[in-house]
């Protein structure tokens, strides 16, 4: 039976074999998409669909209840011409220094210090302590820091009471103040909270990155005559390209989309001095009922994130490929 | 270039267990010394102490006569080739080779000239602008060599630099490294677990085991006159056959009896092994290299009868594994050999190296005889060679310390 069945079959040529392989590959691909389908559906429903709607509403004037009215690009024009909205974007740029550059730089220094100076259990304890702000809810962090930076908060009590005594002695006014209520210091104050929150994340990530660097590279550089500073710049820093890229990406997104810390600690005040796009979008959409303008600002924010992140990713990928 | 000295150097991480004990030797200016031994014998620790990556618990290391125990690695003026090459992944080949010169502040033009010259010497001229990830294993190895050479250091340290290469490339790079070392005449300490590398590259070989130096001598002398059982079984492939033998005196002649096979020892052997006379009437260990075993087909008196268990044709020779009725001596190497019938110490497997045209088959009955001029005699307790006249000693099982003492007492070899 088997022989006759085999004999009746047309012999497989090169073409039919290729067709068979292609059919199998197609079936495999289809199966792969099937596995992806649930995740794709969720992504489409909760990310792509709202994003598309935001893009759509950014061209409309809509209060969220009455029918939307097409206004073309006028919402975008308002984003860049309205001083309040524009300054919110500017504040985001300043917050990037506090949320992103400072934690990454300080994290590098801390991680390098911990690698060389703190070993064993002490190192583990140090890492946990530094990482702790990451597990604290941002709302709680915002409340705690608004107390700390208040007029009778710990910062004034510890640092400025002695200074005030000296200032009064020489006939000058007090330095003590409510830092988050100050026009000059409110934004850096919010930024300080960002440094505190992001530093743990950056330090831990960079410490892990440093742990992956082959110790023989340091040994080779030592025999080549390099000291600790050269080691840091010639071995550590180039080896952490990926980790630094991740730190900058995550913290920049956090800076540009900052909402909870600002909302809790200053609510954008005093006089919009700490207003950021995240909070502005919320206020426009749900308080002022200007959904179209809020959507336009949100789209500009997304574009800003892309503009900031793409060069970092390019830098990281270039290093990884080489 | 400079000489290197280890003076009673010891290493312990907890002051209880010693990774390295009383290591003393001198590497002359321009000499190529290979430290060889099994994993965990302390050879890499010794090298890392010389490089400055490990603290020295006791003793002193000198480079060019100057104590360097407290000198940081960057000030020792030595170069090292690492097992994984340790090339800086983000730098080009040229930058890797020239990094040491850059750190030392050499002008860019001069640096470039030296890098180019070194690259030419190593056949890397076309690769100067490439990154390590774009190179083959052999090229990476040469870049690592270039980085060491370009600085013209006082000494080269090499930590198993060929272990990541495939067998063919390893043979080629072995020759290349040896040639470069001879051309540059730089004092070199090379660490390997591969006895072939040790035997083919070294001016002198230091065999180590258990943190102790077992023997330090030229490759030829180490092969011909191993100082103890460990060296005897570690050096040489296939390993030396080690058997128990009874020594007795009869008719004014000294007889050696292995299993039922007795043979007289000539005066030349007795003179070369003065320890034999002191061991008369006792059981000792004898070692016979596979090429000193004569195999005759059939079974005859005046020989050790045996049966062929395995015959391995290697092309140029045939290795016959022959089971004989003779007690074997348990050595570290023997206990790792898979072909020994474990649990039967009254039978042994003897490996004989035969000419390629030998027609020998599994199951064949044969008779073995040994060339008594090429038999090695050892104290089975201490493991020390009887060439030295060392007395058969401790009644308890030998410890590494015992072995070391016996080996040092032996004195016939250049044992430190």
- Answer whether residue B404 is part of any domain: no
Query: In the structure, what pLDDT confidence band is assigned to residue A320 with cuts at 50, 70 and 90?
Result: low
Q: Are residues B290 and B249 in the same domain?
A: yes
Burial of residue A66 (CB within 10 Å: 0-12, 13-18, 19+) is: exposed
pLDDT tens per residue, range A41-51: 999 999 999 99
Is the pLDDT confidence value at B325 over 80? yes
Residues B195 and B252 in one domain: no
CA B257 – CA B260 distance, rounded (Å): 7
B155 vs B80: CA distance, rounded Å: 8
Contact B74 A234 (CB under 8 A): no
Tally of CA atoms within 13 A in the half-sphere of A285 that contains its CB: 16
Task: Write down which residue in B224, B247, B281 finishes a domain.
Answer: B224
Residue A322 has its nearest CB partner, among B79, B80, B131, at B131
Q: What is the mean pLDDT of residues B8-29?
A: 93
Find the closest chain B residue to A321 by CA distance: B133
Residue B52 with chain A: CB contacts under 8 Å: 222
Residues of chain B neighbouring A217 (CB-CB closer than 8 A) = 86, 88
List CB contacts (< 8 A) between A319 and chain B: 90
List, as ranges, residues 154-183 from B with C-beta within 8 Å of A.
Answer: none
Chain B hits for A220, CB-CB cut-off 8 Å, are 80, 82, 86, 88, 147
Specify whether B216 is located in the same domain as B244: no
When CB atoms are compared, the residue of B51, B53, B86 closest to A214 is B86
User: A288 versus B336: which is more confidently predicted?
Assistant: A288
Least confident span in A23-27, B13-17, B221-225, B404-408: B404-408
Q: Which residues of A22-49 are buried (b: 16+ CB within 10 A; e: fewer)?
A: eeeeeeeeeeeeeeeeeeeeeeeeeeee
Among B176, B199, B224, which residue terminates a domain?
A: B224
Tokens for B306, please give them. 């045996």
Residue B66 has pLDDT above 90, yes or no: yes
CA distances from A269 to A86, A182, A186, A282, B396 (A): 16, 9, 8, 15, 86
Here the tokens at position B396 are 């308890």
- What percent of chain B stands above pLDDT 90? 73
Residues B129 and B252 in one domain: no
Over residues B249-283, the pLDDT tens digits come to 988 899 999 998 999 999 999 999 999 999 999 99
pLDDT band for position B331 (cuts 50, 70, 90): low
Same domain for B207 and B270, yes or no, is: no
Residue B400 is assigned to a structural domain of this protein: no
Residue with the two structure tokens 């690259």: B119
Question: What is the interface pTM, i.e. ipTM, of the complex?
Answer: 0.81
Task: Measure B78 CA to nearest chain A CA, in Å.
Answer: 7
Residue B75 lies in a domain: yes
Confidence band for A170, pLDDT divided at 50, 70 and 90: confident
Q: Is B284 within 8 Å of chain A by CB?
A: no
Taking residues A82-104, report their average pLDDT.
Answer: 93
Going by C-alpha positions, the residue among B216, B176, B226, B227 that lies closest to residue B197 is: B176
Inter-residue contact B61 to B51 (CB < 8 Å): no
Domain match, B195 and B300 both: no
**Rounded mean pLDDT, A57-71:** 93
A219, A230, A239 member nearest B103 (Cβ) = A230
CATH number at residue B317: 2.40.50.140
What is the radius of gyration, based on Cα positions, of chain A?
28
Cβ A235–B80 below 8 Å, yes or no?
no
pLDDT exceeds cutoff 80 at A26: yes
Residue A6 has a pLDDT of 41
Q: Which of B190, B224, B258 is where one domain is finished?
A: B224
**Is B274 in the same domain as B205?**
no
Angstroms from B79 CA to nearest CA on chain A: 6
User: In this complex, which of B52, B88, B151 lies closest to A217 when CB atoms are compared?
Assistant: B88
Tell me the percentage of chain A whose pLDDT exceeds 90: 61
Other C-beta atoms lying within 10 Å of the C-beta of residue B176: 16
Interface mutation vs chain B, best among A223, A234, A237, A320, most B CBs within 10 Å: A223
pLDDT-derived band at B169, boundaries 50, 70, 90: confident
**Residue B416: inside a domain, yes or no?**
no
Residue B407 resides in a domain:
no
CB A252 within 8 A of CB A272: no
Of the partner residues A223, A225, A235, the one whose CB lies closest to the CB of residue B80: A223
pLDDT digits 0-9 by tens, A193-206? 999 999 999 999 99
Length reported for chain A: 322
Our CA-based measurement puts residue A168 at a distance from the nearest CA of chain B, in whole angstroms, of: 53
CB contact under 8 A, B78 and A227: no
Distance between CA atoms of A110 and B113, rounded to whole angstroms? 40
CATH, residue B163:
3.40.50.300
Whether residue B132 sits in one domain with residue B58: yes
pLDDT surpasses 80 at B113: yes
Residue among B74, B89, B131 whose CB faces A223 most closely: B74
Average pLDDT over residues B106-114: 95
Mean of the pLDDT values across residues B234-258?
92
**One domain for residues B34 and B151:** yes
Q: Is the pLDDT of residue B409 over 50?
A: no
**CA-based nearest residue in chain A for residue B78:** A223
pLDDT attached to residue A122? 81
| Claim to verify: residue B20 and residue B104 sit in the same structural domain | yes
Same domain, B385 and B359: yes
In this prediction the pTM is 0.78
pLDDT at A161: 74
User: How many beta-carbon pairs below 8 A join chains A and B?
Assistant: 61
Alpha-carbon span B255 to A300, nearest angstrom: 100
pLDDT tens digits, A270-315: 989 999 999 999 999 999 999 999 999 999 999 999 999 999 999 8
For residue A192, give every residue at least 6 positions away whose Cβ sits within 8 Å of its Cβ, in sequence order, or none. A98, A145, A149
pLDDT digits (tens, 9 = 90+) for A111-143: 988 887 776 778 788 888 888 888 888 889 889
* Exposure of A305 in the CB half-sphere (CA atoms within 13 A): 18
Does B411 map to a domain? Answer: no
Q: For residue B318, what are the domain limits?
A: 237-393
Q: Do A238 and B90 touch (CB under 8 A)?
A: yes
Residue B330, burial from CB neighbour count under 10 angstroms (0-12, 13-18, 19+): middle
Give the model's pLDDT for residue B414: 30
Establish if B399 belongs to a structural domain.
no
Domain count within chain B: 2
Same domain, B194 and B299: no
Supply B148's token pair. Answer: 């060491």
pLDDT of A192: 94
Query: Could you tell me if residue B412 is inside a domain?
Result: no
What's the pLDDT at A9?
46
Three-state secondary structure along chain A?
CHHHHHHHCCCCCHHHHHHHHHHHHHHHHHHHHHHHHHHHHHHHHHHHHHHHHHHHHCCEECCCCCCCEECCCHHHHHHHHCHHHHHHHHHHHHHHHHHHHHHHHHHHHHHHHHHHHCCHHHHHHHHHHHHHHHHCCHHHHHHHHHHHCCCCCHHHHHHHHHHHHHHHHCCCCCCCCCHHHCCCCHHHHHHHHHHHHHHHHHHHHHHHHHHCCCHHHHHHHHHCCCCHHHHHHHHHHHHCHHHHHHHHHHHHHHHHCCCHHHHHHCCCCCCCCCCCHHHHHHHHHHCCCCHHHHHHHHHHHHHHHHHHHHHHHHHHHHHHHC
Contact between A217 and B104 using a beta-carbon 8 Å cutoff = no
Contact check, Cβ <8 Å, B99/A238: no
């Amino acid at each position: 039976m088997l022989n006759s069945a085999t004999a009746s079959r047309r012999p497989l040529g090169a073409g039919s074999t290729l067709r068979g392989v292609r059919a199998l590959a197609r079936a495999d691909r289809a199966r792969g998409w099937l596995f992806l389908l649930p995740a794709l559906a969720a992504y489409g429903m909760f990310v792509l669909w709202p994003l598309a709607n935001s893009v759509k509403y950014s061209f409309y004037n809509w209060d969220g209840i009455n029918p939307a009215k097409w206004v073309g690009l006028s919402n975008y024009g308002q984003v860049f011409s309205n001083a309040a909205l524009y300054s919110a974007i500017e504040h985001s740029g300043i917050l990037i220094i506090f949320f992103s550059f400072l934690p990454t730089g300080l994290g590098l220094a801390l991680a390098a210090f911990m690698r060389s100076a703190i070993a064993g259990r002490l190192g583990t304890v140090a890492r946990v302590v530094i990482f702790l702000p990451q597990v604290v809810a941002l709302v709680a962090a915002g409340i705690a820091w608004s107390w700390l930076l208040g007029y009778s908060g710990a910062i004034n009590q510890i640092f400025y009471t002695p200074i005030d005594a000296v200032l009064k002695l020489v006939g000058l006014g007090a330095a003590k103040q409510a830092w988050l209520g100050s026009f000059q210091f409110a934004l850096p104050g919010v930024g300080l909270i960002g440094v505190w929150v992001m530093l743990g994340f950056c330090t831990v990530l960079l410490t892990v990155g440093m742990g992956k660097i082959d110790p023989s590279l340091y040994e080779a550089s030592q025999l080549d005559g390099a000291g600790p500073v050269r080691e840091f710049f010639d071995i550590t820093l180039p080896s952490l390209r990926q980790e630094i890229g991740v730190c900058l990406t995550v913290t920049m997104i956090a800076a540009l989309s900052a909402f909870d810390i600002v909302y809790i600690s200053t609510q954008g005040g005093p006089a919009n001095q700490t207003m950021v796009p995240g909070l502005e979008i919320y206020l426009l959409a749900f308080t002022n009922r200007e959904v179209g303008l809020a959507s336009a600002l949100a789209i500009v924010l997304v574009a800003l994130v892309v503009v900031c992140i793409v060069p970092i990713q390019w830098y990281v990928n270039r290093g990884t490929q080489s | 270039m400079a000489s290197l000295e280890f003076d009673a150097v010891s290493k312990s991480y907890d002051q209880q267990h010693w990774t390295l004990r009383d290591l003393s030797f001198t590497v002359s200016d321009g000499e190529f010394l290979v430290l060889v031994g099994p994993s965990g014998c302390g050879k890499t620790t010794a090298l890392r102490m010389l490089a400055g990556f490990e603290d020295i618990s006791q003793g002193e290391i000198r480079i060019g006569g100057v104590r360097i125990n407290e000198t940081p690695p960057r000030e020792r003026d030595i170069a090292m080739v690492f097992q994984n090459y340790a090339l800086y992944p983000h730098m080009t080949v040229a930058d890797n080779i020239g990094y040491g010169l850059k750190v030392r502040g050499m002008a860019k033009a001069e640096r470039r000239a030296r890098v180019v010259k070194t690259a030419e010497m190593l056949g890397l001229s076309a690769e100067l602008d490439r990154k390590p990830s774009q190179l083959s294993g052999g090229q990476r190895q040469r870049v690592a060599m270039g980085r060491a050479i370009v600085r013209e250091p006082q000494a080269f340290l090499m930590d198993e630099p060929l272990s990541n290469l495939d067998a063919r490339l390893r043979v080629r790079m072995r020759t290349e490294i040896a040639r470069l070392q001879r051309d540059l005449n730089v004092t070199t300490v090379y660490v390997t677990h591969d006895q072939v590398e040790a035997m083919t590259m070294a001016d002198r070989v230091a065999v180590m085991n258990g943190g102790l130096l077992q023997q330090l001598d030229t490759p030829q002398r180490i092969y011909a006159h191993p100082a103890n059982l460990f060296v005897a079984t570690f050096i040489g492939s296939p390993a030396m056959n080690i058997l128990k033998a009874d020594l007795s005196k009869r008719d004014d002649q000294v007889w050696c009896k292995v299993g039922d096979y007795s043979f007289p020892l000539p005066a030349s052997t007795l003179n070369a092994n003065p320890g034999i006379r002191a061991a008369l009437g006792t059981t000792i260990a004898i070692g016979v290299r596979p090429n000193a075993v004569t195999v005759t087909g059939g079974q005859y008196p005046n020989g050790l009868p045996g049966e062929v268990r395995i015959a391995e044709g290697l092309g140029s020779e045939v290795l016959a594994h022959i089971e004989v009725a003779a007690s074997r001596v348990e050595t570290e190497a023997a206990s790792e050999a898979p072909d020994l019938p474990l649990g039967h110490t009254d039978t042994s497997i003897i490996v004989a190296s035969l000419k390629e045209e030998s027609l020998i088959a599994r199951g064949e009955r044969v008779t073995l005889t040994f060339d008594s001029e090429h038999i090695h005699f050892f104290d089975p307790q201490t493991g020390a060679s009887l060439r030295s006249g060392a007395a058969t000693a401790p009644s308890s099982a030998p410890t590494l310390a015992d072995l070391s003492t016996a080996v040092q007492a032996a004195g016939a070899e250049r044992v430190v």
